[in-house]
Structure 1
Amino acid sequence: MTRRPGIPLPPPKERRRLREAGALTQAQVAAQVGVARETVRAWESGRTTPSGRKGEAYARLLESLTTPSAEPYGEPAAPRTAAGRTGRHRQPSAVATAEAPEPADAPEPADALTPAQAFDALYAFCAPALVRQTYLLSGRRELARESVERAFQTAWQRWPEVAVDPDPASWVRATAYEYALSPWHRFRPRYRHPEPPPADAADRALLDVLLTLPPSYRRTLLLHDGVGLGLPETAAETEASTPATANRLLHAREAVAARLPGLADPAALHRRLAEVASAERLRAPRPPTVRLGSERRARFWTRAAIAFTVTIIGATALTVRTAPTRYEPPVPPGETVQGIPPRVAPGTLSDKELKLRKKLRSGTAHGPQRLLPESR
């Protein structure tokens, strides 16, 4: 790792704090250092470590941000809110942009938006495309709608965290993908039987090939060739290294090309993924319905936690109430009672006991006569 001597590189969390304190966006830092925005994001998350001349430039930039009198690199960034980032975010693929409303309809002053309005803007922009993506990922229409709804419900419950995330669309997409690929769905009765396949034979063939891929390969292929993310950004979203992501992508493309030779070209595969996703008329629920469902779910789990806590408290109180409050000594061992000989352990009979046994055996009557008293 080559960095200029004397410029220590701060920890990942400190890198992000310094950038935000200097009113810089990740795109501005990337432009100053000469790397992609996804690379800066990976540096700030700790997935990768800066090195070489780029690392030196990044270290100098962070060093300048630690000096109070230093001016930030580039122009100051505008105030960043969830709604503002949602309006500027663009999905680079037909899979991601089909039927997505233009963010120009959002109100111009981003600071005037309420949390509900910002959430609705993010939902309106991302949900339609995200439903189609999760359908390609899982092959189930109902599961795709449920995954997107559950992801946005989680986002609404954690909205203070999502609102300040540099890329809230990626946050929601990662949550939806994780839910759609969960292995526990196979145990649900409604998902034990396959759904009707697409009507077109070519669409059915492509979807069958996708579903035969391992989940990690399928997700990598969809993000890179379907959504259109770059390789570093795909690696960051799948929480894998860039070489591992490249290998997954190559193996997934080879598997698709082996079954469908016409899709060996990545551009043709990208076009077909967009066509298959757009052929299914998948509709996501309305944003108020999602927010209401999230609030109901939060209330349910809150009440369940309160009921469980009350049960534990009641059981503890009952145990304290019924537990003994004084010491009870154990039962003492047996003592010798006067007039009763102590019970001895079995052993060899004495001469007296042998004579008594012989007398009893010789005097025993055999047959029915022993039941009658003897006449004297």
Structure 2
Amino acid sequence: MLSRRKRTITGKPVAKHVPKIKPSKARKIIRRFHLLIQKRRVICNKLRCDIVENDEEANAINIENFFRKNKTLQEDFNKGKKSRRPNPRLEELLVHVQSIEHSQQLCQILGYICGEIEEDGGLQNYQFASTVGQDSNRGGDSSKQLVKWCKELGVDKALGMNALELGSLSAKNHISVCGLFNPVVRIDLNSNDTVNIERQDFMKRPLPKDESQRFDLISCSLVLNFVPTPLQRGQMILRFKQFLKCNKKTYLFLVIPLPCLTNSRYMTKDRFNEIMHALGYRKIRFKEAKKVAYWLYELEQSENTMCSSQNMNQFAKKAKLLDKPGMNNFSITFPNRQPSHQGIYTTTKPLFSR
């Protein structure tokens, strides 16, 4: 019988203490962190300071080296870094940083951003908040919905299916413990569990050499919306196909924040489905929750589903679908390519080949 004591008679905790924060605070931390790194990216591009996606250690070194070469701007950076928080004036400049061209102001805002990231624990604090968001006790594990759908479709462990999970935060979520997939290969740009989750950028993952290196299912939950640009999002979606097995049923599970689809000037649920259909995916399940949208797509293996130049070139540029105050600019675009002699959509790399 388990002890109800919180501590043993020697005063030691019965169970290891796991720090917790409220989901509302976790969401606030996540939103703020992504706002800061987005604005930092804009500023560094303006200042021509090298920035590396998802490598905070490298970015700290690059920014330090930048000011070592531009000592006249160091004072402005330090001033922003030491400012009290929140600073109403700098918060206002932060929001409108895209329209600012004055180097001294940009450096002050950059210092303000870097100071906040350091004070709040940076990437480590963000990862902890993200893990809280996936706590099964709070219903935050999106793969729970995936497993439910897979069981409805008759997926069984006897089928020997494997899966690739992008942006994995835990080796104990539903996709990992349900037993339907073996193995589950888990990757994340900034893995906080390098034993069970490989630290890897999906866009740099080596392409499969044969069928044994491909997957029956790819899970991409709340990753696509954090890819920096519309074209990079399109390139990520294109790359999924190269990692899915040929000549059998394969699946793609996607989770995207609802505002990216319901409050965007350039994207709606219908347009997103049009994109996926043009790429050869068939929607087999969809669920709209309070804050996110879930999709399960099946990749059609027919030759007729190959992407034509005409199909994909219509998504090469952003198309304004709605325009109201307070809307966001989430969108997905694809490289504009020319058709081959056979009329098949071609690229310099075999993005669509199966």
TM-score (norm. length: structure 2):
0.29
Per chain length, whose mean CA-contact separation is higher, i.e. which structure has more relative contact order (CA < 8 Å, sep 6+)? 1
Name the structure where strand makes up a greater proportion of residues. Answer: 2
* Bigger radius of gyration among the two: 1
TM-score (norm. length: structure 1):
0.27
